[in-house]
Amino acid sequence: MLFLRPTTKPDFILLGSATPVTTTANSMTLKSVTLTSPIFWASLVASLVLHESAHLAMAYLAGVRVKHIGLSWKGPYIVRESGTPIQNTLISLAGPGINLVLCLLFWHISGTFAWVNGFLAVINLLPVPSSDGLRVYRIWRRTG
């Protein structure tokens, strides 16, 4: 059950519609965040850059050499040397981790930026093709 409290800040997001929901003492109102909004696209680009930067920073901190950074139709990617299972896990989780932290930090400051980061964190942690979650799953499935 979801408990709503009187506030003017977004309480939760309707995921299918990308719409933050706010409540007042007697009613709920929806503030639309459209996928064509420049704020949405700026938030998405910034979130992706920060996501990949977290992977790079963790690779550097873990001592794994990055060969090159690229951009494909799927989005940005990093080619690096292979590390130990622990190093690879930390590097893979750094991107979704920074997205989750940014989601929590910006929740009451910028609903759109927080929503985009939360969405990227959740999607990247799922074990679906080309995700960090699938990469971590495969690392630990191989190591037993």
**pLDDT tens, 103-139?**
999 988 888 899 999 999 999 999 888 888 999 999 8
Query: What's the CA gap between 128 and 54, in Å, rounded?
Result: 20
Residue 29 and residue 22 in contact, taking contact as beta carbons nearer than 8 Å: yes
**Token pair belonging to 61:** 């901190």
119-128 long-range contacts, CB within 8 A, separation 24+? 119/15, 120/47, 120/48, 120/51, 120/96, 121/96, 121/97, 124/51, 124/95, 124/96, 124/99, 125/96
* CA-based nearest residue to 32, from 16, 42, 21, 46: 21
Residues 8-60: tens digit of each pLDDT: 555 444 444 445 555 454 444 435 567 788 989 999 999 999 999 999 999 99
Structure tokens at 76: 């940005």
Q: Band of the pLDDT at 98, cuts 50, 70, 90?
A: very high
The model's pTM: 0.72
Q: What are the structural domain ranges in the chain?
A: 1-32, 35-143
3-class secondary structure, 24: coil
Contact between 115 and 130 under an 8 Å Cβ cutoff? The reply is no
How far is residue 51's CA from residue 64's CA, in Å, rounded to a whole number? 17
Burial (CB count within 10 angstroms: exposed 0-12, middle 13-18, buried 19+), residue 107: middle
